[in-house]
Each structure stands twice: as C-alpha cells, then as structure tokens.
Amino acid sequence: MSEVCCCPPGAGNDVCELPAQGFQRTVRGINTCPKCGQKAKPVQGQTVKALLLVSLRAVCDVEYLFCRTPTCSVVYFSQDGEQTFTLEQVRERVYQKEPMANDVLVCYCFRHTVSDIRNASQQARDAIVHDINIGIKANQCACDLRNPQGSCCLGNVTGLAKQTKRSFVEAA
C-alpha cells in the first residue's frame, strides 16, 4: 500500500482516494502506457534488448510492455511505467506506429513491407502469406527478436491483406 494512496498496488482501480486530502486522482491502470494510457502487451526482455539503440546498461531486469498505439511515441515501457523507450530509441521502424507508411516492414523476418502487400494482386498477397508460413515451418522465423511487438507478424500481414482486399472491393 502506498503512503499517499489507499489502494493496494496492482488493484487496477482507475481512480484512487487520497484520504488525507479528500480528493481523487487518476492512476495509471495495469499494463497501460504511461504516455497514452492505452492497454499494452507484455514483451520479452530479449526483444527489448535486441531492438534498442541505447546502451543495454539502460535496460533494467524488469518486465516490459509494448505500446501499439500509432499516435504514441513510446514503444516499450517498464511495467511500473518508470522507464520508457521511444521510437527514436529503437533500431527498426514499428509497423503498429506507422501502419500507413508504405516502406515500413510488416514482416520483419522475411522483409515484407506495407507496400509489398498493398500493391500486390490477391494471388501475390496469398503467395506472401504462404511464403511466411513456409518460413515459420522451416524454423526460419525470429519474430521474438526481430519484430518490435515480440511475437509473430503473420497476424499483422493477414490483417493488412484482408484490409487491402476490402478496400479494393469497396473502391470497385
């Protein structure tokens, strides 16, 4: 329990009474970005270490989360929200932060960009997905280290392919 706050750590309350002052303050929810307040997903420490441009002396042995909000400059932050790493501090451009940029990678292992998928025919998009699946089955995938979100990019690729297909159908 905090000296100032009557809520136990990790209680998950969005509002906490400050008993001495008699007013309320908003507190950051569990697993939410300290800058934008949006829910984030846990990411392995090895992912953070592999993708940061800063000295690894700056990386603490704590749990980190990945903020996928496009309008937020924070990419990784410690669970307590005390430590953040921004877009300027990572080695790769982040698809979730720049989903409309044609030259940003969607698949970090096999180097497929947004424009590769958007500009491809349906048959070519299917071939890209097939190529990624073959690479995954051949154990050539390293999304846990190469993809800033720290997990497989296939969902991002198929999501973008479906979105592109819908946009094409709607425009026709």
Residues 6+ apart with CB under 8 A from 12: 29, 30
3-state class percentages of the chain: helix first, strand second, coil last, to nearest 5 = 35, 20, 50
How high is the pLDDT of residue 165? 76
Does residue 89 have a pLDDT over 70?
yes
Residue 136 burial (CB count, 10 A):
16
Q: Which helix (H) or strand (E) holds 165?
A: helix 154-171
Q: What is the CATH number assigned to the segment(s) 28-89?
A: 2.20.25.270
Output the six-digit token pair for 22.
């008699």
**Helical segments of 81-152, H only:** 114-118, 122-137, 143-146
Following DSSP, what letter does each residue of 101-114 receive, concatenated? -TTSEEETTTTEEH
The confidence band for 18, taking pLDDT boundaries of 50, 70 and 90, is very low
With contact defined as beta carbons under 8 Å apart, do 31 and 68 qualify?
no
**Domain locations in the chain?**
28-89, 105-171
Does residue 3 have a pLDDT over 50?
no
- Over the stretch 119-169, which tens digit does the pLDDT of each residue have? 999 999 999 999 999 999 999 999 999 999 999 999 999 999 999 876 655
